């Protein structure tokens, strides 16, 4: 048989005859014909089988349209994307595949975006590439559709990741994300600063060595070993345990340790979010507030005692109700001014000069009737109230009976520091007033001055009733050696 063929082949043959025979025997699978624009390859049946397999297997949807825009072929991926079978798709119009605008072939051979209609009523973002081709005298359009939902989802995930990352970066708390085994998977910038390095990849207890902030908190933390703390933080909610970091750089700072579960879409815990909030400043403010409330309470009680005492004493010495009213109002006014000063200076203290100017303003300190001379001295807050009351008594006496009661009278207040700047000596000198007669009067005012200077100012008061006017010498300590806890003497009832 073979030799028979060989003999036939050896015989000179017409080429056309040979070609026809090859085609007839199925030995060729394509022929070249003369088309309008030169030779054209025409595939015989079966020749495109490899391409067909490739198209069926490709991950993009593919379809062919006839000249009228009617679908003549779809691959299986397109069926999957639309949710329709090939029989349902072939014969339909291309436009019916889409929601909204129908994609068109682009001159620059790029793809365009479209929404593919799905059989389940939903839609799918796709990227559509199209090209028109002349095939054996007919015009067809080849189309591929790429599912963009995965890419979109990836973009959304990337956006969410960037969003979460920027929250982590900008959070003022140290935030770390733990996997279920207690290993850190994400950390905020502040967390990195606290750990002194990137804690990602380390166990929480390795990255942050913790101690309880106080004995009362010790119990909570002591229940856990290092490993079990990692486990607990990764799997159980934790609320507000006060801790300190063992890192010497963080000594003296307190942190609030909290943890909450991190869940996935299926609501399964996949780890936890642990925060360390620096509460050092908050604690300091709380302590200060507690102290201030106690101080305020103490002072209000003092003031009420003072008011009660002043009222009692004024009542005892006042000759009439109008006189009581005037004297009492003046003294309460002095207490009020002293408190204004303390509030304005935030209980820090005040310059002596400034105190004199403020307290004596109603008595003509700025009009040359009261002259002030002395070096700058800063008074502690505790001295403000007693000194204000003493100055008020002196000034009231002066305006009623002394130098300030006469048109040309004058008060000179001078002071100096003594005993290594520990004490202040003040001279109150009245001149130009009415003549002071024998010994003067030791009324309530002088009693109050004496007691206040002795007990509240830890000093001495010497009151001399000179014929030309009063000379009062006050000597008092500028700094308290011990903090007196007793009530001011001004609040003590006189003998």
| Residue whose CB is less far from another protein, 50 or 100 | 50
- Using CB under 8 A as the binding rule, whether residue 25 contacts another protein is answered as yes
Distance CA 208, CA 136 (A): 75
Contact yes or no for 272/260 (Cβ under 8 A): yes
- Using CB under 8 A as the binding rule, whether residue 166 contacts another protein is answered as no
- Using CB under 8 A as the binding rule, whether residue 137 contacts another protein is answered as no
For residue 134, the minimal CB distance to another protein (Å) is: 13
- Using CB under 8 A as the binding rule, whether residue 354 contacts another protein is answered as no
For residue 17, the minimal CB distance to another protein (Å) is: 11
For residue 44, the minimal CB distance to another protein (Å) is: 9
- Using CB under 8 A as the binding rule, whether residue 420 contacts another protein is answered as no
- Using CB under 8 A as the binding rule, whether residue 5 contacts another protein is answered as yes
| Residue whose CB is less far from another protein, 40 or 76 | 40
Q: Using the 8-state DSSP alphabet, how is residue 424 labeled?
A: E
> What does 180-246 look like in DSSP terms, one character per residue?
TTSBEEEE-HHHHHHHTS--TTSBHHHHS-EEESSHHHHHHHHT--HHHHHHHHHHS-EEEEEEEES
| Residue whose CB is less far from another protein, 52 or 165 | 52
For residue 66, the minimal CB distance to another protein (Å) is: 23
For residue 64, the minimal CB distance to another protein (Å) is: 18
Distance CA 147, CA 145 (A): 7
Q: Using the 8-state DSSP alphabet, how is residue 453 labeled?
A: I
Interface region with another protein, contact rule CB under 8 A, candidates 26-34, 132-140, 209-217, 304-312 = 26-34
| Residue whose CB is less far from another protein, 48 or 88 | 48
Contact yes or no for 391/404 (Cβ under 8 A): no
Tally of CB atoms within 10 A around 170: 10
| Residue whose CB is less far from another protein, 50 or 376 | 50
| Residue whose CB is less far from another protein, 39 or 439 | 39
Q: How far is CA 191 from the centre of its chain?
A: 14
The helix/strand count (H/E) of the chain reads as 15, 21
For residue 114, the minimal CB distance to another protein (Å) is: 31
- Using CB under 8 A as the binding rule, whether residue 2 contacts another protein is answered as yes
Distance CA 487, CA 300 (A): 12
Q: Using the 8-state DSSP alphabet, how is residue 422 labeled?
A: T
| Residue whose CB is less far from another protein, 5 or 437 | 5
Of 474, 458, 466, 407, the residue nearest 440 (C-alpha)? 466
Tally of CB atoms within 10 A around 385: 24
Interface region with another protein, contact rule CB under 8 A, candidates 24-32, 273-281, 333-341, 378-386 = 24-32
Distance CA 85, CA 78 (A): 9
What the block records as the tokens of 411 is 């008060």
| Residue whose CB is less far from another protein, 34 or 216 | 34
For residue 80, the minimal CB distance to another protein (Å) is: 26
| Residue whose CB is less far from another protein, 40 or 412 | 40
Residue with tokens 């002088």: 446
**Residue of the chain from 15, 265, 481, 485 that contacts another protein (CB under 8 A):** 15
- Using CB under 8 A as the binding rule, whether residue 6 contacts another protein is answered as yes
Distance CA 131, CA 140 (A): 8
Q: Using the 8-state DSSP alphabet, how is residue 18 labeled?
A: H
For residue 106, the minimal CB distance to another protein (Å) is: 24
For residue 175, the minimal CB distance to another protein (Å) is: 57
For residue 47, the minimal CB distance to another protein (Å) is: 4
| Residue whose CB is less far from another protein, 29 or 295 | 29
Distance CA 115, CA 420 (A): 92
How many residues bind another protein (CB under 8 A)? The answer is 29
E strands present in 247-394 = 255-263, 269-278, 350-351, 370-373, 378-379
Residues in region 108-127 near another protein by CB under 8 A: none
- DSSP H or E run through 476: strand 469-477
Calculate ∠ Cα 63-64-68, nearest 5°: 130
| Residue whose CB is less far from another protein, 23 or 139 | 23
Of 397, 337, 405, the residue nearest 369 (C-alpha)? 405
Residues in region 28-87 near another protein by CB under 8 A: 28-32, 38-41, 43, 46-51
For residue 46, the minimal CB distance to another protein (Å) is: 7
| Residue whose CB is less far from another protein, 22 or 480 | 22
For residue 28, the minimal CB distance to another protein (Å) is: 4
Interface region with another protein, contact rule CB under 8 A, candidates 5-13, 84-92, 400-408, 417-425 = 5-13
Of 160, 175, 128, 166, the residue nearest 147 (C-alpha)? 128
- Using CB under 8 A as the binding rule, whether residue 377 contacts another protein is answered as no
Torsion of CA 343, 344, 347, 351, to 10 degrees: -140
Name the site residues for another protein (rule: CB under 8 A).
Answer: 2-3, 5-6, 9-10, 15, 18-19, 22-23, 25, 27-32, 38-41, 43, 46-51
């Amino acid at each position: 048989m073979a030799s028979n063929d060989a003999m036939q082949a050896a015989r000179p043959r017409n080429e056309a005859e040979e070609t026809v025979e090859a085609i007839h025997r199925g030995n060729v699978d394509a022929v070249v014909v003369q088309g309008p624009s030169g030779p054209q390859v025409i595939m015989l049946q079966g020749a495109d089988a490899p391409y067909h397999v490739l198209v069926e297997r490709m991950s993009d949807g593919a379809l062919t349209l006839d000249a009228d825009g009617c679908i003549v072929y779809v691959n299986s991926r397109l069926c999957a994307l639309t949710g329709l079978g090939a029989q349902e798709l072939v014969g339909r119009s291309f436009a019916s595949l889409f929601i909204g605008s129908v994609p068109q072939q682009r001159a620059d051979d790029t793809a365009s975006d479209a929404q593919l209609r799905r059989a389940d009523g939903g839609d799918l973002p796709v990227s559509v590439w199209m090209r028109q081709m002349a095939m054996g005298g007919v015009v067809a359009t080849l189309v591929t559709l790429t599912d963009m939902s995965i890419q979109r989802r990836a973009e959304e995930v990337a956006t969410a990741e960037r969003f979460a990352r920027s929250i982590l970066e900008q959070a003022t708390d140290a935030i770390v994300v733990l996997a279920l085994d207690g290993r850190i998977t994400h950390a905020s910038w502040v967390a990195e600063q606290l750990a002194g390095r990137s804690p990602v990849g380390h166990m929480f207890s390795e990255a942050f060595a913790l101690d309880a902030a106080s004995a009362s908190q010790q119990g909570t933390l002591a229940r856990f070993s290092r490993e079990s703390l990692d486990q607990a933080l990764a799997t159980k909610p934790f609320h507000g345990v006060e801790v300190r970091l063992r890192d010497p750089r963080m000594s003296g700072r307190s942190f609030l340790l909290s943890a909450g579960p991190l869940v996935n879409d299926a609501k399964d815990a996949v780890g936890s979010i642990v925060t360390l909030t620096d509460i050092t400043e908050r604690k300091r403010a709380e302590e200060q507030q507690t102290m201030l409330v106690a101080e305020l309470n103490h002072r209000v009680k003092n003031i009420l005692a003072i008011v009660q005492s002043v009222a009692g004493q004024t009542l005892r010495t006042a000759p009439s109700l109008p006189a009581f009213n005037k004297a009492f109002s003046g003294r309460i006014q002095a207490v009020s001014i002293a408190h204004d000063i303390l509030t304005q200076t935030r209980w820090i203290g005040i310059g002596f000069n400034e105190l004199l100017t403020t307290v004596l303003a109603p008595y003509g300190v700025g009009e040359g009737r009261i002259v002030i001379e002395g070096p700058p001295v800063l008074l502690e807050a505790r001295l403000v109230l007693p000194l204000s009351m003493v100055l008020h008594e002196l000034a009231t006496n002066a305006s009623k009976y002394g130098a300030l009661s006469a048109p040309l009278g004058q008060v000179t207040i001078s002071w100096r520091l003594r005993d290594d700047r520990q004490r202040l000596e003040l001279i109150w000198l009245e001149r130009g007033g009415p003549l002071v007669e024998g010994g003067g009067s030791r009324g309530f005012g002088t009693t109050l001055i004496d007691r206040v200077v002795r007990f509240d100012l830890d000093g001495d008061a010497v009151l001399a009733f000179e014929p030309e006017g009063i000379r009062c010498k006050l000597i008092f300590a500028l700094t308290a050696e011990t903090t007196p806890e007793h009530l001011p003497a001004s609040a003590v009832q006189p003998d």
